[in-house]
Amino acid sequence: MLAEQITEPLALHGEGPCWLERSGELAWVDMLAGRVLATSPATGETRAIAVPSPVAAIVRPRAAGGLVVATETGVVLLDEHDEPSLLCQILDGPGIRMNDGGCDPQGRFWCGTMAYDSRPGGGALYRVEADGTFSEQLAAVTISNGLGWSPDGETAFYVDSMAYGIDSFAFDGASGTLSGRRRFADVGGSPVLPDGLAVDAEGGVWVALWDGGAVHRYAPDGALDEVVPLPCGRVTACAFGGAGLDELFITTSRLELPDGVDPDAGALFRCVPGVRGQAVLPFAG
């Protein structure tokens, strides 16, 4: 399965792809640069949306229109004119920043954190309600990364990158709680780290491999059954999009790479995986 490059290397650290059905664009993040990018897959044309502070790896549509974005320390709402307003401030100390996450089927916004120095146990996973109240759901994680839900909404898949795998939880949609953590699939091994993920309509889990130069698909039983190679090593995240949700968009990074290494890193890629994704889950706020 081949991945097609559809933009120039526009980002230093591309992350967080998300399909925007209303505009027919793929939103993604130039992390730490304070930019949300929106790319038309048909033309490759990309526009930038400025936000008030460095962006974490999460951007999602809002049910009411506009976007919800995790910044370095909190959550910001963008209206349909890209005007920002602060929903909540989660972090107030130095050395920790927001990282990856997503929305659950009930419209809650989940966002993880990590220490800038990636120290073990320095991160957590938070759940943010539509009114901006938030609570810690997982503690003592190292690099909180990909998060997604099974098609029936009863299982959450989660990556703490330094644990080298994908874990699954039973998910109670009414209360928004996680329980029964278990290992779904082992992924990578130093220096290859699992990063962002997407769950398809059949329950397969697609995960990007940082320093692994690929996206892997794991079947619902946890077995590896597909590999999408990329022409650059630092693959960060993936998401389904397109009119039929039958395209997989993949972000990449050139963070801390020397000049001349992986010249296509920081570009957006696309492949046709032969399976559809799920509709994007919007934020209820």
Considering the segment(s) 4-271 as one domain, its CATH architecture is: 6 Propeller (2.120)
pLDDT at 34: 81
pLDDT at 94: 87
pLDDT at 211: 98
Give me the amino acid identity at 164.
Y
Residue 219 half-sphere exposure toward CB, CA atoms < 13 A = 5
pLDDT at 140: 97
pLDDT at 133: 98
Catalytic residue among 195, 211, 221, 264: 195
Phi, psi of 253 (to 5 degrees): -135, 150
Contact indicator for 2, 271 with CB cutoff of 8 Å: yes
Record the tokens describing residue 195, joined without a space. 């990063």
3-state helix, strand, coil in the chain (%, to 5): 0, 55, 45
pLDDT at 54: 79
195 is catalytic: yes
Mean pLDDT by 10 residues, the chain (285 residues): 95 97 96 90 91 85 95 94 94 93 98 96 98 98 98 98 98 98 96 98 98 98 98 98 98 96 97 97 97
Give me the amino acid identity at 13.
H
**Per-residue CA distances from 220 to 74, 146, 149, 161, 265 (Å):** 33, 17, 12, 20, 30
Rounded Cα distance between 257 and 175, Å, is 43
